[in-house]
Amino acid sequence: MANTALKNIRHLSLEEIERYFEELGEKKFRARQVYEWLWLKNAMSFADMTNLSKDLRQKLGETFVLPALTINTVQHSEDGTIKSRFQTHDGHFVEGVMIPTTSRFTACVSSQIGCSLSCKFCATGYIDRKRNLEFDEIFDQVALINRQCEEAHGKKLSNIVFMGMGEPLLNYKNVLKAIEKITSPNAMAMSPKRITVSTAGVAKGIRQLGDNKVKFKLALSLHAANDAKRHEIMPINDSNNIKSLVDALNYFYKQTGNEITFEYILFNNFNDSLQDADELIKIYRQVPADLINIIEYNPIDFARFEKPDEMKVQAFMQYLEKHRVNVRLRRSRGKDIDAACGQLANK
């Protein structure tokens, strides 16, 4: 357990670390070395900082804490997907996934420990929200998954999606700060255009992203194209109905011009009829969305939903295509290790 009386060194700016070293009577460049260990070389402890003297490392350890995430367990899927269960300094667990395809290597990361939204089809929705992840804990997930990617494939991550446990826009400040670090030239230097934040639909948060002129992509987990059905599976729809989300997405696009995607999981005999497809097309026409991702449903223990058969999926897809909708079927990966969409539950 980290000593909460000591300050987390990663919550200090480079200037603040420089001041600390100056007060110690140390050279200013030491601060840059420490900063590189924290954000470029992903040191998980002060002992890792091998170009500092033992005495200096000890002083850092007496003044600050470095509560890094650690990997608790790793599971490998037959399709190459790697799921990691990370442990926080205060003993909580959170999951992240590395998804390899022929053209990209994607990290799917979590933003909260558990979730407060209780979506009926999602395993995380059945776990109470314990707390938000700090921005450095989110960064650690990406750094650790990136290391796995390099070890398994000899390549760095190409994309990041905030589609793991929790609702990113209910941990707004930490998610944005984590992305700031991930995209910083002094850290991972990843292009924000390769990052997608997925929301279950927090209209106020979507508008705030517009006001903050963010550079990353946005995905809305829609999953039902009318309020009655959406309310049934996503309680957040009570306070964020489809009209409020359409308005918020248009505002976001006006402010940023960034790519918007709709996510839509098909549930057998619930939202997979051609009438549902018609309602989905209507929403798609109201927003400058680039794409609708149709997602295979991955059954979970607690939910009554089933996946439609292949013929139904194809009929739904073809109907959308016929109406000039840019649509893609997203086949789930990592199902055999409960790493697929909606399955993350710290198993």
Cα 127 to chain centroid distance, Å, stands at: 17
pLDDT at 326: 97
CA–CA dist 151, 155 (Å, integer):
8
For residues 109 and 24, membership in a common domain is answered with no
Q: What is the pLDDT of residue 2?
A: 47
In a domain? residue 342: no
Query: Of residues 108, 115, 122, 341, which has the active-site annotation?
Result: 341
Look at residue 311 and tell me if it is in a domain: yes
130 and 50 in a common domain: no
Asked which of 16, 50, 65 is the last residue of a domain, the reply is 65
The upper half-sphere exposure of residue 153, i.e. CA atoms within 13 Å in the direction of its Cβ, equals 21
Residues in CB range of 266: below 8 A, 6 or more apart: 272, 294, 295, 296, 297, 307, 308, 312, 313, 316
- Cβ neighbour number for residue 5 with a 10 Å cutoff: 6
- CATH code at position 31: 1.10.150.530
347 found inside a domain? no
Among 38-42, 120-124, 151-155, where is mean pLDDT lowest?
120-124
Residue 4's pLDDT is 52
Query: Which of 33, 49, 65 is the C-terminal boundary of a domain?
Result: 65
- pLDDT digits 0-9 by tens, 106-146: 999 999 998 888 888 888 777 888 999 999 999 999 999 99
Query: How many separate domains does the chain show?
Result: 2
Residue 188, domain extent = 70-337
Looking at 65, 89, 110, which one is the last position of a domain?
65
Interval 266-290: pLDDT, tens: 999 999 999 999 999 999 999 999 9
Same domain, 57 and 194: no
**Annotated catalytic residue, options 15, 62, 95, 150:** 95
Amino acid at the residue 253: Y
**pTM recorded for the entire structure:** 0.93
Asked if 95 is an active-site residue, the reply is yes
Distance CA 201, CA 169 (A): 9
Residues 52 and 96 in one domain: no
The CATH number linked to 155 is 3.20.20.70
Asked whether the predicted pLDDT for residue 227 surpasses 80, the reply is yes
User: 85 and 56 in one domain?
Assistant: no
136 lies in the same domain as 279? yes
Query: 340 falls in which pLDDT band (50, 70, 90)?
Result: low
Q: Are residues 306 and 229 in the same domain?
A: yes
Catalytic site includes residue 16:
no
